[in-house]
Amino acid sequence: MTRIPGLRRLVRIDRDNAGVDRAVDDELQFHFDMTVRELMADGMNSNEARREAERRFGDVQRTRERLATIDRSRVERERRVEWWGGFTQDLRYAIRGLRMKPGFALAVVITLGLGIGANATMFGIVDRLLFRPPAFLSAPDRATRIYKAVTARGTERVTSFVGYQVYRDLREMTSSFEAMTPFYDNKLAIGSGDATREMDVGISGSDMWKMFDVTPVIGRFFTDAEDVPTNPTYVVVLSYPFWQTQFGGRNDALGAKLDIGAAKYTVIGVAPEGFNGFARTSMVAFVPISAAATAADMGRPDDPWYSTYYMAWLEIFARRRANVSLTVANADLTNASVQAYGRQAAKVRGRLQPVERARPRAFAGPVLFDRGPKEGSEAKVATWLVGVAAVVLLIACANVANLMLARALRRRREVAVRIALGVSRARLVMQLITESLMLAILGAFAGVTIAQFGGKLLSSTLLADMTAGPSAFADSRLLAFAIGLALLAGLLTGLAPMMQAGREDVAATLKAGSREGTVQRSRLRTGLLIGQAAFSVLLLVGAGLFLRSLRNVQELRLGYDPDRVLFVHLEDRGVQMDSAHKVTLLQSLLARAQTIPIVEHAAQNLTVPFYSTWNFSIFVPGIDSVHRLGDFSLQAGSADFFQTMGTRIVRGRGFTPADRETSQLVMVVGESMAKKLWPGEDAIGKCVKMNADTMPCRTVVGVAEDVRRSLISEVDLHYYMPSSQFHPSSGGLFVRTRGAADQNSEEIRRSLQALMPGVSYVTVTPMTTLVAPMIRSWKIGATLFAVFGALALVLAAIGLYSVIAYNVTQRTHEMGVRVALGAQARDVIQLIVREGLRIVIPGVVLGAIIALVAGKWIAPLLFNVSPNDPPVIVAVVVTLLGVAVLASWLPAQRASRVDPNEALRSD
């Protein structure tokens, strides 16, 4: 086929809309001219010829438009094909280039992998805590968790935990919601005999099913008629995995009987896989609250669980009507709260403060607990860590950009040659970006792999009870997030060499040897290193602050020894026992526990730190309204109670076997309580009355050290009474072991279980498991800040090392000259180390300044540490400088051994 010279250039002109139109016009014009010319040659005059030509052609205007449309779409397609061709070529070129330098590729992929992995791990956690609504939730934007607030002693207390009567009040008195349900989850004994296990059960009203887009896998869900508090129906909906493992996924599971807690339930349906109601962890079954609460025998016969105002154990979830705004719904809720407060005041007869002072209100908060006003400090720390992970990624990007820059500098002659040969700069830039994007995508896969392991490790060690399901770190959202990050990283890292390529002076580069020009240091690379050093300082300061907080928390005296104490809980599971029976059982359990060799002390208890509290009205002669001074919580214990817990008696005495039901009524008070009630006086011998002013005096016989049992950061106002004198048939035991408590729990459980009648059972829990969640936020902060900080430090060190090492190789010639002129090895080393420090010191100073300024934002998350803690900052600065010296000393060593002969002879 013949080709006309100059073709390409002419074709390229048609590449825009105007060009296309012009080409069509040219073509048609030529056609007309030729036709007219021919017709005139045949003897027509010019007018006739033109008319004939137009007749032959047909509708010129329409054809012209049609041709332009066709051509435009053709050009569009050609452009796409050409772009794709260029792209695949770039890709091939990039792959070839990287295969020639596998070390470089590996370094980049690992660096980016670590950065992306850190981010993906944090994303997995934060997504769970803050962003992902419960699975299957319908209309998530209108679904809410209801919060209740009451003002006491001038401060408003917000909580999402309420009793069933509060739910009934709000349901009855509001009209803004189309569905409302109580929900809580509880560990209940499931099964019978040896197969009995405690498992998580979701407990709710029938409206829960309306709030989710779920249909049963088989059977059905429970209905309103099956959730009547006064007439409970014992039906259960199984979770999908429980149905699979316990019933083999068979249809005849429907109608089967299942022992849950103290009752027998009939299986009526199976929920779809992944459904957990409003719970954050995996549930095995779902039962109506009427059945579960009745079977658990909650409340008292004269004040049952569904109408008492004295218990708060569930949360309310509701869906707003589509035509009701949030403001209106909140007003509705508050209105209802005020009404309900009146109802409550009437019921409890004047024990409530007046409504004007209490200012009760309720509001619709986010479904996700950690999005709401009572968010856990874990969520706050996690949010911070997202920022930290982002910084790690930035440092990783800076490192990679540095590596790419070094490569670009090495390839500048090649680039200059290509520009001179007419390759467009845009094309070169595209190629650089293709290369960095490809590396970044590889990094993303490395990162997701890291997140898999990191996430699993993290959720099993630090967040055991906060995330449900094994899939938390392996889903499409995470993958999409990682790929997104990779694209960003690819662009960021491609940017640096791009700027270089854009500025290149072709002629100068071509003229210069490889030696010349490269000696001038890249300001961009130095800037990146300074940034890295500053970021490393920030992260390490954070790590130091959290580590100090964690140590402070762990060294904090709680007022008892959680490491040595186990808590024994009795679960009657429906076995009926009167008080006398219970007292006997508790006493025999106590006696048995004291005979176990590894048990040092054992004592009866009533409440358990970080697990249960009991507040009671107390009256003290000479003090008006004691309750205005604070919340006083109580404990009852048998003889040896204080020895068992390890709580020190500061003055007076603890309890002895001589404190009996019939002996003098006594009490031990905590130091803070003593100070609050009788400031400047001796508490011993004072009188405290329980429940009413008319009750007999309890004499204070001892003062105990303060305990922290509801918050780590605050001591409680706490007092103790002998078990024999206060609810002797309630509570469980504390057991103090000779060794670490958690290793002996099973032996103790087996020994005590033998005494339990029928299906009733004991659980034995180390106190550390109750304390651990309290200090978890600092543990997470310390661990992750330390990990990320170390990562940042390593990356920064590698970055500095590679830049110094690169500069040293480029300056071999200069070093040769210096050595030839008589420089000693020491001089050369000093020269280079000083250069390294010149880069790092501004970064360290910058980082330290930022850390000092930013400190105030992180202060609320720390524990007894100032955010500007001098030891931490000094330690970090010294570490960084040390690392900088080391990173530049290694290449300096090499430079000092330069053979001047060789260095001067080589180009």
Binding region for other proteins (CB under 8 A) out of 7-15, 207-215, 321-329, 563-571? 7-15
Alpha carbon distance 648, 860 (integer Å): 31
User: 614 — phi, psi (to 5°)?
Assistant: -140, 120
Q: Shortest Cβ distance from residue 31 to other proteins (Å)?
A: 5
Among 16, 48, 57, 252, binds other proteins (CB under 8 A): 57
Element (H, E) at 182: strand 177-190
Three-state DSSP class for residue 723? helix
Burial (0-12, 13-18, 19+ Cβ within 10 Å), 742: middle
Report the residue number, 66 or 153, with the smaller CB distance to other proteins. 66
Q: How far apart are CA 163 and CA 305, in angstroms?
A: 8
Q: Which is nearer to other proteins, 68 or 91 (CB)?
A: 68
60 binds other proteins (CB under 8 A): yes
Give the three-class secondary structure for 604: strand
User: Which parts of 411-424 fold into alpha helices (H)?
Assistant: 412-420
Instruction: Of 226, 198, 194, 221, give the one whose Cα is nearest residue 208.
Output: 221
Q: Based on CB atoms, which residue is closest to other proteins, 68 or 130?
A: 68
The least distance separating other proteins from the CB of residue 48, rounded to whole angstroms, comes to 17
Q: C-beta of 454: minimal distance to other proteins in Å?
A: 51
The CB-of-27 to other proteins minimum distance in angstroms stands at 5
Sites for other proteins among residues 743-782 (CB under 8 A): none
Q: Of residues 15, 51, 77, 80, which one binds other proteins by CB under 8 A?
A: 77
Does 41 help bind other proteins (rule: CB under 8 A)? no
Q: Which of 15, 51, 74, 357 binds other proteins (CB under 8 A)?
A: 74
Q: Kindly state the smallest distance separating residue 87's Cβ from other proteins, in Å.
A: 21
Q: How far is the CB of 15 from other proteins (least distance, A)?
A: 13
CA 32/CA 58 separation, integer angstroms:
12
Cβ pair 650, 671 in contact under 8 A: yes
Nearer to other proteins among residue 63 and residue 424 (C-beta) = 63
Least distance in Å: CB of 45 to other proteins? 21
For residue 539, report the phi and psi dihedrals to the nearest 5 degrees.
-65, -40
Bridge partners, residue 722, by sequence: 637
How far apart CA 800 and CA 257 sit, in angstroms, is: 68
Kindly state whether residue 67 participates in binding other proteins, applying the rule CB under 8 A: yes
Nearest to 797 by CA among 430, 480, 458, 396: 396
Task: Establish if 56 lies at the interface with other proteins (CB under 8 A).
Answer: yes
Please give the single-letter amino acid code of residue 797: A
Quick one: 73 or 625, whose CB is closer to other proteins? 73
Query: 9 or 96, CB closer to other proteins?
Result: 9
Exposure pattern of 506-524 as b/e (b: 16+ CB <10 Å)? eeebeeeeeeebbeeebeb
Interface residue with other proteins among 41, 43, 45, 58 (CB under 8 A) is 58
Least spacing, CB of residue 65 vs other proteins, in Å: 10
Which residues within the stretch 9-38 sit at the binding site for other proteins (CB under 8 A)?
Answer: 10-11, 23, 26-28, 30-31, 33-35, 38
> Residue 14 CB, nearest distance to other proteins (Å)?
9
**Euclidean distance between CA atoms 52 and 48, whole angstroms:** 6
Residue of the chain from 70, 423, 711, 874 that contacts other proteins (CB under 8 A): 70
Minimum distance from residue 217 beta carbon to other proteins (Å): 53
Q: Which is nearer to other proteins, 33 or 746 (CB)?
A: 33
Identify the CA nearest to 570 among candidates 730, 800, 786. 730
* Segment contacting other proteins by CB under 8 A, of 68-76, 180-188, 441-449, 614-622: 68-76
CB of 536 to other proteins, least distance (A): 57
Which parts of 811-906 fold into alpha helices (H)? 812-820, 825-858, 870-896, 900-905
Please identify, using beta-carbon distances, which residue of 35 and 768 lies nearer to other proteins.
35
Binding residue (CB under 8 A) for other proteins from 15, 16, 46, 63: 63
**How buried is 43 (Cβ within 10 angstroms: 0-12 exposed, 13-18 middle, 19+ buried)?**
exposed
Shortest spacing between CB 12 and other proteins, in angstroms? 11
Interaction pattern, residues 331-370, with other proteins; x per rule: CB under 8 A: ----------------------------------------
The rounded distance, in Å, linking the Cα atoms of 34 and 807 is 70
Taking CB under 8 A as the criterion, the residue among 49, 71, 500, 606 binding other proteins is 71
Shortest Cβ 21–other proteins spacing (Å):
13
Kindly state the tokens that stand for 902: 């060789």
Helix extents (H) in 14-59: 17-41, 46-57
Which single residue is written with the structure tokens 């429940």? 691
First to last CA, the chain: 51
Element (H, E) at 263: strand 263-270
Distance, in Å, from the CA atom of 614 to the CA atom of 81, rounded to the nearest integer, reads 76
| Interacting span for other proteins (CB under 8 A) from 65-73, 142-150, 362-370, 506-514 | 65-73
If binding means CB under 8 A, how many residues of this protein chain bind other proteins? 32
From residue 703, give the alpha-carbon distance in Å to each of 331, 557, 668: 47, 17, 6
**C-beta of 34 vs 480, nearer to other proteins:** 34
Stretch of residues binding other proteins (CB under 8 A), selected from 51-59, 231-239, 800-808, 893-901: 51-59
- Region 514-573 residues binding other proteins, contact defined as CB under 8 A: none
Residues 164-183, interacting with other proteins (CB under 8 A): none
Amino acid at 503: R
Cα gap 654→638, rounded to integer Å: 10
Region binding other proteins by CB under 8 A among candidate stretches 56-64, 89-97, 468-476, 774-782:
56-64
Note whether 234 and 574 are within 8 A (CB). no
Report which of 400, 396, 418 is spatially closest to residue 93, judged by C-alpha positions: 418
Distance of closest approach, residue 504 Cβ to other proteins, in angstroms: 35
Q: Is 66 in the site for other proteins (CB under 8 A)?
A: yes
DSSP for 749-797, please give it. Answer: HHHHHTT--TT-EEEEEEHHHHHHHHHHHHHHHHHHHHHHHHHHHHHHH
Binding of residue 2 to other proteins (CB under 8 A): yes
Nearer to other proteins, 57 or 83 (CB): 57
* 3-state class (DSSP) for residue 421: coil
Q: How far is the CB of 39 from other proteins (least distance, A)?
A: 12
Q: How far apart are CA 807 and CA 896, in angstroms?
A: 14
Quote the CA–CA distance of 373 and 371 in Å, as a whole number.
7
Nearer of residues 58 and 154 to other proteins, judged by Cβ: 58
Which CB, 33 or 141, lies closer to other proteins? Answer: 33
Q: Residue 845, class by beta-carbon neighbours within 10 Å (0-12 exposed, 13-18 middle, 19+ buried)?
A: middle
Which range binds other proteins by CB under 8 A, 62-70, 316-324, 480-488, 620-628?
62-70
Q: How far is the CB of 90 from other proteins (least distance, A)?
A: 25
Nearer to other proteins, 56 or 557 (CB): 56
Give the nearest distance from C-beta 69 to other proteins in angstroms. Answer: 9
Taking CB under 8 A as the criterion, the residue among 41, 62, 323, 907 binding other proteins is: 62
In the complex, the smallest distance separating the C-beta of residue 75 from other proteins, rounded to whole angstroms, is 9
> Would you say 57 or 310 has its CB closer to other proteins?
57
Strands (E), 630-767: 632-637, 649-652, 666-670, 687-690, 698-704, 717-722, 733-737, 761-766
Residues binding other proteins (CB under 8 A): 1-4, 6-7, 10-11, 23, 26-28, 30-31, 33-35, 38, 56-60, 62-63, 66-67, 70-71, 73-74, 77
